[in-house]
A = this chain, B = another copy of it.
Amino acid sequence: MELIFEKHIKKYVNATQSEIEQFYDLFTLRKLKKKEFLLQKDDICSFKAFITKGLLRIFHIDINGGEQVLAFGIEDWWIGDFDSFYNLKPSDLYIQALEDSEVLLLSRENEAFANEHFPFSEKLFHKLLIKSHIALQRRVIDNMSKPAEERYFDFIKKYPQMAGRLTNIQVAAYLGLTPEFLSKIRGKLAKG
């Protein structure tokens, strides 16, 4: 079992070592090369992915070809398309590795099995979802109430590790800005 996984579970719930190992056995390792896709539009998302290595993004492409990033994920985070996963709907999102990455995939069937057999499993997913939901609510409010520059500074303050691994274009597609605008902000910042 990978240490990062074990630590992650213990951070959220009480479970015995043996339970965590059995839970871990329900996941499948998937290695991705940089730029490789884990999910493409019209696929049904058949997994929740726990990231043990690398950096991924989940994003949307609009009718004009513009990209909107719903989320980035690095080590110790989860990534997946909930709507497609739970409602068995063809996804309208893409998940792509931005670095060589490794993820542990939990299928719908194995999640159901885990929730039935391990008392901590549902609690874990509920806690994780509360955390994600709070972050997403904050983002909706900030997008409407804060100027772009402030949102960029919030982003690098909140996710310093991640910000250093992303290009201007990627961060701009998360914040809903043009890359040119973001580059101007970064230029101002560099000048102090």
Contacts and interface: CB of A to CB of B under 8 A. Distances in A.
Copies of this chain present: 2
A141 B70 contact: yes
Interface residues of A, number: 30
Nearest to A135: B83
A82 B133 CA distance: 8
A48 to B, nearest CB: 12
B126 A83 contact: no
Interface string A47-71: 0000000000000101000101010
Residue from A123, A141, A176 having most chain B Cβ neighbours under 10 A: A141
A123 B112 CA distance: 12
Interface SS of chain A: helix
Contacts of A122: 122-123, 126
Given A129-B129, A129-B130, A83 B144 contact: no
Q: Which of A93, A132, A139, A140 has the most CB of B within 10 A?
A: A140
Interface in A135-161: 136-141, 143-146
Nearest to A137: B70
A82 B129 contact: no
A80 to B, nearest CB: 11
Given A70-B137, A139-B140, 7 more contacts: A60-B141, A60-B144, A60-B145, A68-B144, A122-B122, A133-B133, A133-B136
